[in-house]
Structure 1
Amino acid sequence: MAYVITDTCTKDNHCIDACPVNCIHPTPDEPGYEEAAHLFVNPGECIDCGACVPVCPTTSIYVLEELPAELAAFADSNAAFYN
C-alpha cells in the first residue's frame, strides 16, 4: 500500500476526483458513504501515483512509509475496509 487516509479526512472528494484509477472509496454514489468516518485507499488498486496527496485540503493522506507512528492504525483500517 502506498497511501493511507487518516481520520482528519472530511470526505471533500478531491482525492476521488484526482485518482486516475478510482481506488479511493466509498464514493458519494456508493452504499455506506454517509456512514463512513472517512475515505479509504484500496491497497490492491493504488498505483502509487500520488495524485491524491496535493489535492487534500486537510493533509489527511500519507505515504505509508511516512505515516506517523501515532497514526499507524490507519494503515490497517484502510486495508480492512476492502476485506
Structure 2
Amino acid sequence: MEAIDAIPSSERPARLGRVQLYINPTECICCGACALECPVNAIFDEDDVPEKWSGAIEENAAFFAR
C-alpha cells in the first residue's frame, strides 16, 4: 500500500474507506491535524466521540497496548 499522503485527498474516501487507522493516545498532542486528513471524518476529541462509536476509544487504546 502506498503512503496515505501520496493519495490525492479527493480519492482517499474511496480508496481508504475500509482501512482502520489508529492514533497513539500517549503521543497525541490534540492538535487536530489528523482530523483534517481523516478520509471519513471519524476523528473526534475523546469527550466528543458519538455514542455509537464510543467502543472505538478502547479499541484504539488496545491497539497500542499490544
TM-score relative to the length of structure 2 = 0.66
- Gap change, CA 1:57 and 1:70, over 3 Å in 2: same
Q: Structure 2: which amino acid aligns with 1:78?
A: N
Q: Which residue of 2 aligns with 1:81?
A: 63
Matched, 1:72 2:54: yes
- Determine which structure has the larger strand proportion and give its number: 1
Q: Distance in 2 between matches of 1:63 and 1:79?
A: 14
Matched, 1:13 2:4: yes
State percent identity of aligned pairs. 36
Identify unmatched segments of 5+ residues in structure 2: 6-18
TM-score relative to the length of structure 1 = 0.54
Q: Distance in 2 between matches of 1:38 and 1:52?
A: 14
Superposed CA RMSD in Å reads 1.7
Aligned residues: 50
Q: Structure 2: which amino acid aligns with 1:13?
A: I
Q: Which residue of 2 aligns with 1:24?
A: none
Identify unmatched segments of 5+ residues in structure 1: 1-11, 15-36
Largest Rg, 1 or 2: 2
**C-alpha deviation, 1:63, in angstroms:** 1.2
